Amino acid sequence: MPSKLPKLVMIFIFFTTSANAWRPWANQMFEGSKRFEGSSELVDMKYHMGPVLTDENITIYPIWYGKWGKSQKMIIRDFINSISAVNNKAPSVSGWWKTVQLYTDQTGANISRNVFLGHDKNDRFYSQGKSLTRLTVQKVIKNAVNSRSKPLPINPKTGVYLLLTSDDVYVQDFCQGACGFHYFTFPSIVGYTLPYAWIGNSAKLCPGVCAYPFAVPNFMPKLRSVKSPNDDVGVDGMISVIAHELAEVATNPLDNAWFAGSDPVFPVEIADLCEGIYGTGGGGSYTGQMLNGVDGATYNMHGIRRRFLVQWVWNHMVNYCTGPNALDQ
Ligand SMILES: *[C@@H]1O[C@H](CO)[C@@H](O)[C@H](O)[C@H]1NC(C)=O
Ligand SMILES: *[C@@H]1O[C@H](CO)[C@@H](O)[C@H](O)[C@H]1NC(C)=O
């Protein structure tokens, strides 16, 4: 369960309420003895015996809520398709996913290598309005799997339902505590227990918060934003949050598998620990080394047709955050 809050708020939240973390400031509390890509002996990433997504394939079902442009959908689809693509230039999105694949269940089965795009669904007319709560989010998913025309498949074992809200939609805690979150649906609302994630387009509401570093927060006037790789600040900012949530859904789909801390109500998951880290040396308020294209865009990995900027994830084998360079080959 992620999110993003400024440093001071963050430290408070981290220890009191949860997994909430914010991009550039998230790892500040670990900058004690040895600060290296978030490394810390204090982090106790543990397996709590629950299921993780280890089947041959993981299927992602996007639900496009509100107004979405074709080119916006294309950026997100390309990113998801890049996760198991084989021929992309390194550092690649598939190289990044290899850190996630290091996690296993109790039988020793690894997280799936294959992440595929399944059917998707449009909710163009804001079926639950323009302000969603954690409960109405589940109603959106319910509609998508119960729809009379082309419902999404019910796939509790290997499916991940990805609710993507357009830039005119507010979701509970958006901008104040979260840029996205993942959880599972309740049978009493949806009829099934389905792992899902929500990610919002922050372009209008809080790009400085949820699309950092493509936009910077107003309260930090000294920070400069960087150019986004696909010319869409909101969607380029969503990519890293989508990656964050998918890494966590895969390793902790029912909130009883991989997380640090002792409280499953506020788990600190594998992406929470690396928020704001995009490259070597990252930690504290430093993003780490990123790449710059000839067009001036900032990114850190290649995917199908495009480049992306994606945060790193916690590697429990070495106890620090790793990115595509570590295992890409
Ligand atoms: C996984 O996906 C591949 C490629 O689409 C397919 O051939 C295979 O049958 C799938 N495996 C399962 C268990 O569904
Ligand atoms: C599976 O996980 C183990 C660690 O538990 C790791 O050593 C191995 O490299 C992983 N396999 C893949 C394909 O990532």
Q: pLDDT (tens digit, 9 = 90+) per residue, 103-141?
A: 999 999 999 999 999 999 999 999 999 999 999 999 999
Amino acid of residue 4:
K
26 phi, psi to nearest 5 deg: -60, -35
Q: Is residue 67 part of a domain?
A: yes
pLDDT 10s digits, 267-290? 899 999 999 999 999 988 889 999
The finding on whether 102 has its CB within 6 A of some atom of ligand 2 is yes
Mutate to test the pocket of ligand 1, among 56, 86, 115 (most ligand atoms within 8 A of CB): 56
Query: How many distinct structural domains can be found in the chain?
Result: 1
Ligand 2 centroid distance, CA of 104 (Å): 7
Put residue 54 in one of left, alpha, beta given phi > 0 → left and psi -120 to 50 → alpha. Answer: alpha
Q: How far apart are CA 60 and CA 78, in angstroms?
A: 12
Ligand 1 centroid distance, CA of 37 (Å): 35
Question: Is a pLDDT exceeding 80 seen at residue 5?
Answer: no
Judged by average pLDDT, the poorest of 5-14, 76-85, 217-226 is 5-14
Q: Is residue 1 part of a domain?
A: no
Question: Is a pLDDT exceeding 80 seen at residue 28?
Answer: no
- pLDDT on residue 285: 80
**Confidence class for position 36, pLDDT limits 50, 70, 90:** low
For strands 298-299 and 307-308, give the pairing: unpaired
Share of the chain above pLDDT 90, in %: 79
The finding on whether 56 has its CB within 6 A of some atom of ligand 1 is yes
pLDDT 10s digits, 60-101? 999 999 999 999 999 999 999 999 999 899 999 999 999 999
CB 123 within 8 A of CB 143: yes
- pLDDT on residue 328: 60
- pLDDT on residue 264: 77
Residue nearest to atom 4 of ligand 1 (CA): 57
Question: Is a pLDDT exceeding 70 seen at residue 27?
Answer: no
Mutate to test the pocket of ligand 2, among 84, 100, 110 (most ligand atoms within 8 A of CB): 110
Q: Is residue 94 part of a domain?
A: yes
Q: Is residue 151 part of a domain?
A: yes
Average pLDDT, the chain: 88
Question: Is a pLDDT exceeding 60 seen at residue 53?
Answer: yes
**Confidence class for position 326, pLDDT limits 50, 70, 90:** confident
CB 213 within 8 A of CB 226: yes
The finding on whether 110 has its CB within 6 A of some atom of ligand 2 is yes
Burial class (CB in 10 A: 0-12, 13-18, 19+), 129: exposed
Ligand 2 centroid distance, CA of 113 (Å): 11
Atom from ligand 1 closest to the CA of residue 55: 13
The CA-based dihedral angle spanning residues 302, 167, 251, 135, taken in that order and rounded to the nearest 10 degrees: -170
- The ligand minimizing its distance to the Cα of 157 is 1
Residue nearest to atom 9 of ligand 2 (CA): 102
H/E stretch holding 251: helix 233-251
- The ligand minimizing its distance to the Cα of 98 is 2
Q: Is residue 2 part of a domain?
A: no
pLDDT 10s digits, 197-221? 999 999 999 999 999 999 998 888 7
- The ligand minimizing its distance to the Cα of 107 is 2
Share of the chain above pLDDT 70, in %: 88
Residue nearest to atom 4 of ligand 2 (CA): 102
Atom from ligand 2 closest to the CA of residue 102: 2
- Domain of 314 in residue numbering reads as 8-327
Mutate to test the pocket of ligand 2, among 101, 315, 316 (most ligand atoms within 8 A of CB): 101
Tokens of 133: 């709560």
pLDDT 10s digits, 137-166? 999 999 999 999 999 999 999 999 999 999
Mean pLDDT, residues 237-257 taken together: 97
